[in-house]
Amino acid sequence: MKHLLKLLDLSTEEIVDLLNLADQLKYEQKHGIEHHHLKGMTLGMIFQKSSTRTRVSFETGMYQLGGQALFLSLRDLQIGRGEPVQDTARVLSRYLNGIMIRTFAQKEVEDLAEYGSIPIINGLTDFCHPCQVLADLQTIREYKNKLDGLKFCYIGDGNNMANSLTVGALKCGMSVSLACPEGYHPDNQVLEFAKSYDDKFQLTADPKTAAADADVLYTDVWASMGQEGEFEKRKKVFEGIYQINDEIMSAAKSGAMVLHCLPAHREEEITAKVFEAHANEIFDEAENRLHAQKAVMVRLMAPGK
């Protein structure tokens, strides 16, 4: 594994290896066992969108691994004034040991990887959010002691989260049921990938059908970053239907867990009641961003550790 650009690029073995390492790093962190695997290294963090979890967990994770992270806003970098990404990639490769980037176009992330000579980590694009899904899989495995054979259900917009969750869950042996409205389906590349899983993948417009007997329920905002201007239009499509609420919970297996990548909009994609009833799972999930991303950084920046 040279980069983490999207989960489609990873084998099941690579994903499981990252989850195992994430568990180990979590254990070590909780027991005060130092793991300075990235001593003296630097990670550049380029952000073109807002972030709480990604920024803080990468910066903290890098520190815990003995290295340092640099926050680089695209507004301040010369990229913001038109310096080509090809040149930026080659320059930053001379200073840094890795780059984490959050931006709009997946191509920008792929270009950085193509022109630079250091590992690139996708910290969210419009297409996918692989770091979040590694943390999600780690959390599901913690609660359910396995991934293989579980039923995973996602309700909402067929966005970056739906794309990465579908790929990650299928690769880890889960069956996946998505409930997305017409016109808001996941990316074609993901649907094409999912096709090969036959009846382990289902896409419907009906949340109750998708939630039937699910072990894990997941949702995300109706309008993602960059789509704020479409919110009213989207609200008309999603409101009252694409929400995790008591009715959806009763369709799922008893003891089903509920996850959300956060930030959450209560009473839109999830009711406050369901959110609070599953707050432990959701905030364990947020915590696991730290551990999962530390695993990614170690594998990419210090292979062999």
Six token digits for residue 109: 């992330």
For ligand CP (CB under 6 A), the number of binding residues is 8
Shortest CB 163 distance to ligand NVA, Å: 10
Angstrom distance (rounded) from CA 82 to CA 85: 9
Q: Is 153 a catalytic residue?
A: no
| Residue 18: its H or E element | helix 12-30
Q: 261 an active-site residue?
A: yes
Buried b (16+ CB within 10 A) or exposed e, 8-34: bebeeeebbebbebbbbbbeebeeeee
Residues in 193-212 that interact with ligand NVA by CB under 6 A? none
We find the least distance from the C-beta atom of residue 153 to ligand CP, in angstroms, to be 19
Q: For residue 17, indicate whether it is catalytic.
A: no
Q: Show the site string, 214-253: x = touches ligand NVA by CB under 6 A, - = not.
A: ------xx--xx----------------------------
Least distance CB 273 / ligand NVA (angstroms): 22
Window 103 to 162, contacts with ligand NVA (CB under 6 A): 124, 129, 159-161
Cβ nearer to ligand CP, comparing 61 with 175: 61
Whether 102 is catalytic: yes
**Which of 132, 138, 243, 293 is flagged as catalytic?**
132
| Nearest distance, CB of residue 278 and ligand NVA, angstroms | 17
Distance CA(100)–CA(163), nearest Å, equals 19
Sheet holding 68-73, edge to edge: 68-73, 42-47, 98-102, 120-122
Q: What sign does the dihedral 292-20-160-238 (CA atoms) show?
A: negative
Could you give the maximum distance between any two Cα atoms of the chain, in Å? 55
Which option in ligand NVA, ligand CP, none does residue 205 bind, with CB closer than 5 to 8 A by kind? Answer: none
Which two three-digit tokens encode residue 158? 């067929």
Residue 124 in the binding site for ligand CP (CB under 6 A): yes
Contacts with ligand CP in 223-282 (CB under 6 A)? 261-262
- Tell me the C-alpha distance between 86 and 106, whole Å: 15
Cα separation, 129 vs 239, in Å, equals 24
Q: Is 291 near ligand CP (CB under 6 A)? A: no
Shortest gap between Cβ of 9 and ligand NVA (angstroms)?
20
Q: Pick the closer one to ligand CP by CB: 84 or 226.
A: 226
H/E run at residue 98? strand 98-102
Q: Is 289 a catalytic residue?
A: yes
What phi, psi does 151 have (nearest 5°)? Answer: -105, 125
Residues at the interface with ligand NVA (CB under 6 A): 124, 129, 159-161, 220-221, 224-225, 261
